[in-house]
Amino acid sequence: MVETTEKNNVTGTIEVKDVRKEFIDPNGETVVALDNVNVKINPGEFICLIGPSGCGKSTFLRLVAGLIKPTEGELFLDEKKIVKPGYDRGLVFQDPTLFPWLNIYENVAFGLKVRHVYNERKKDVKEFIKLVNLEGFEKALPHHLSGGMAQRAGLARALVNHPKVLLLDEPFGALDAFTRMNMQDELLRIWKERGTTMIMVTHDVDEAVYLSDRIFVMTPRPAKIESIIDVEIGRNENFGRKRDSVDFLRTRSKILQVLNFTGKELEEDYVI
């Protein structure tokens, strides 16, 4: 089992205080992506962000990652202000973005080598490859892997740095339905084993209910958190939830009602 030094400490608390984010569009107009966002995410929580396309979900992730700065307000990780990217926050995209010229072992080890800690942490590379069930594929190049396997490699590359928070931007959006469900269970297994705080953007309402402790439902731009829904459904042996249970369907219906609070039709990119 991978060593879990961070898991034994109370780390991974995210606080977002009065955050507003503005961009300038190509016409020189100011676009408000996020407005007056205040939220606290507890250590070890699994949070899903859901809302209309372009409402600021990915902007929220990039702010937590430190890739962009808020126009107003502040974000904190364990009471330390977020001002830049750091290895204490891992980021996984829909595209695994693996280096095509490096094999899987080299891709997972890349971050450790950049940080000059590979020699003392090289055992972690094999351990995290094992954690995501890619043993035997260490020498494979990315184009030799299926979409699900490549995404597992991306998870291992993010987790090998022992982040306090893992940020996931629609990581399973490009996968077929069966692979997606399998990857959801894999992610939950890793979450329970590692105790890492996870924040995930998704357009799949069922995925949000299956994975989350809480779901942040966001309004159309300028986005605010319209509703925070506690998913009070027991987890199964895979830490997910029974998808056809009455409680699951009731929670799903509640989210869909909030998403449609303006009375408009739901966007086509929602999986319902």
Residue pLDDT, tens place only, 61-95: 999 999 999 999 999 999 999 999 999 999 998 88
For residue 142, what is the DSSP state?
G
| Cα–Cα distance for residue pair 236/254, rounded to 1 Å | 22
CB distance 66 to 83 below 8 Å: yes
CA 152 remoteness from chain centre: 13
Q: Domains of the chain, with CATH numbers?
A: 14-88+163-259 (3.40.50.300)
Q: What mean pLDDT, rounded, does the chain reach?
A: 89
Instruction: Report whether pLDDT(1) > 50.
Output: no
The more confidently predicted of residues 76 and 271 is 76
Inter-CA distances, 219 with 53, 55, 123, Å: 10, 7, 44
Q: Percent of the chain at pLDDT above 70?
A: 92
Region of 227 (left: φ > 0; alpha: ψ -120 to 50; beta: rest) is beta
For residue 264, the model assigns a pLDDT of 46
51 phi/psi in degrees, rounded to 5? 170, 175
The more confidently predicted of residues 73 and 9 is 73
For residue 262, the model assigns a pLDDT of 37
Each residue's pLDDT tens digit, 151-207: 999 999 999 999 999 999 999 988 888 889 999 999 999 999 989 999 999 999 999
**DSSP H or E stretch at residue 258:** helix 246-259
